[in-house]
Structure 1
Amino acid sequence: MTFLTCLILGFAIAASGSIVPSFLNLTVVKFSLKSGRKSALYLIGGFATVLFFQANIGAYLSSILMKNSEYITSIQKVGIGILIILSINFFRMHFKKQKPKRKTEIQKSKAYFHGIGMSLLNTFAIPFYFTSISFLIGLGYFEYSPMNSLYFSIGSTLGSFCLYTLYATVASKIEHRLSFLAVRINFILGCLTGIVGLGNLFYLLY
């Protein structure tokens, strides 16, 4: 595969994943409003650094799975259990009474490392890349190799960086909308993980 093809695929996948409201998007918006756009870019740089490696891991795992299809059913069963547990946990977090949190100032010099720490907490990144790349491999649009994985990861890093930068740039205009979604994000994630988990369970049974 060519460098440009892998780059475009990585950019498109990461951009589509980053545009969905999440705690990372909300953090970018709040940080941009509090400390300015330049500081927010350091935060985004921390996000992008971790996402580069997460995309590589997702690509590697997808290549192993596609070559060993006999493990798919076992992995699906484990995945169903994890999704249902996650769904229950998200609903628990949504209905649990949240105590108001005090806002803490983050020094600009620590923004990059703060971004790395927060991105490491994003547990959906690797499964997202794993699923997306497996889908591309199944359709014949992506062929795994260390170089293709590297090119894809570069594209995904650029895609994430561009989308988060856009959030930082228009922070004042979208803060209210993201805040509205943020208080409901656990409920939304609970519904999504529950639907996917039950859908996979139904597929395995019937």
Structure 2
Amino acid sequence: MDILLFIGLGFMIAAGGSITPSFLNLTVVKFSLRNGVKAALYLIGGYATVLFFQANIGAYLSNILMENSEYITLIQKIGTVILLLLSINFFRLHYTSKEKKEKEDIPKSKAYFHGILMSSLNTIAIPFYFTSISFLIGLEYFEYSYLNGFFFSIGSTMGSFTLYAVYAIVANKIEDKLTYIATKMDFILGCLTGFVAIANAVYLYIQ
């Protein structure tokens, strides 16, 4: 019964975190529109691979970092720099890629490894899982062990994959309505990652 509980908790937390706008789910939409749903699913598979380990790390750190908050601050600083660099790159893509890109097939491995790269750059994931699991521990819904963390990670991987897949499928179904948004996707991603980077910097400054 505990196994289903931990899987369910992981699924709900990951699904809740994935449904909000982020550079990961917006990249899924962009990928689905430009390369098709199948390529987007391989991209999401790359996401899920990394997210499984990030959830495991988050669960493990929740048992350690309670008394070592300086490590959390370090992770946030690194994440802020990475997000700022991503924001600059998205703006560069927006202002240098003026031609409308048609759909094109790309190798499955390229889509998968692109997903791994993008998800690896999402350093917010580990603090997110750490915070979520610490909250669950405080409510006595979760007791950390390697096995419990493993089942939680399975659930979180399933939750993330499911929500991102919905983004990919919906983007394809309403492609005509998203055409204009697709042309501005790099700009939107740049604004989003830039906003999060600035918000993180301000938070770290006032701490």
TM norm structure 1? 0.75
Deviation at 1:199, TM superposition (A): 5.1
Q: Which residue does 2:96 correspond to in 1?
A: 99
Q: Which residue does 1:30 correspond to in 2?
A: 30
Distance in 1 of aligned mates of 2:116 and 2:24: 11
Q: Give the alignment of 1:1-206 within 5 angstroms.
A: 2-66=2-66, 69=67, 71-72=68-69, 74-75=70-71, 78=74, 98-100=95-97, 106-172=106-172, 173=174, 175=178, 176=180, 183-192=187-196, 194-195=198-199, 198=202
Deviation at 1:29, TM superposition (A): 2.0
Note if contact 1:14-1:159 (Cα within 8 Å) is conserved in structure 2. yes
Q: Which sits farther off after the overlay, 180-189 or 165-174?
A: 180-189
Instruction: Give the percent of matched residue pairs that are identical in Structure 1 and Structure 2.
Output: 54
Distance in 2 of aligned mates of 1:34 and 1:7: 33
Q: Which sits farther off after the overlay, 6-15 or 170-179?
A: 170-179
Note if contact 1:26-1:182 (Cα within 8 Å) is conserved in structure 2. no
Distance in 1 of aligned mates of 2:39 and 2:79: 35
Note if contact 1:26-1:178 (Cα within 8 Å) is conserved in structure 2. no
Note if contact 1:11-1:155 (Cα within 8 Å) is conserved in structure 2. yes
Deviation at 1:84, TM superposition (A): 7.0
Distance in 2 of aligned mates of 1:42 and 1:95: 25
Deviation at 1:15, TM superposition (A): 0.8
RMSD: 3.3
Q: 1:165 to 1:185 in 2, by over 3 A?
A: same
Distance in 2 of aligned mates of 1:90 and 1:40: 20
Number of equivalences:
199
Distance in 1 of aligned mates of 2:110 and 2:83: 33
Q: Deviations over 1:178-202 (max 9, x none)?
A: 7657524444444445446645665
Unaligned runs of 5+ in 2: none
Note if contact 1:62-1:131 (Cα within 8 Å) is conserved in structure 2. yes
Q: Deviations over 1:18-46 (max 9, x none)?
A: 11222322332233233332232222111
Distance in 1 of aligned mates of 2:45 and 2:16: 18
Q: 1:81 to 1:144 in 2, by over 3 A?
A: same
TM norm structure 2? 0.75
Distance in 2 of aligned mates of 1:162 and 1:131: 22
Equivalent position SS for 1:183: helix
Distance in 1 of aligned mates of 2:161 and 2:113: 16
Deviation at 1:88, TM superposition (A): 7.0
Note if contact 1:23-1:182 (Cα within 8 Å) is conserved in structure 2. no
Note if contact 2:79-2:123 (Cα within 8 Å) is conserved in structure 1. no
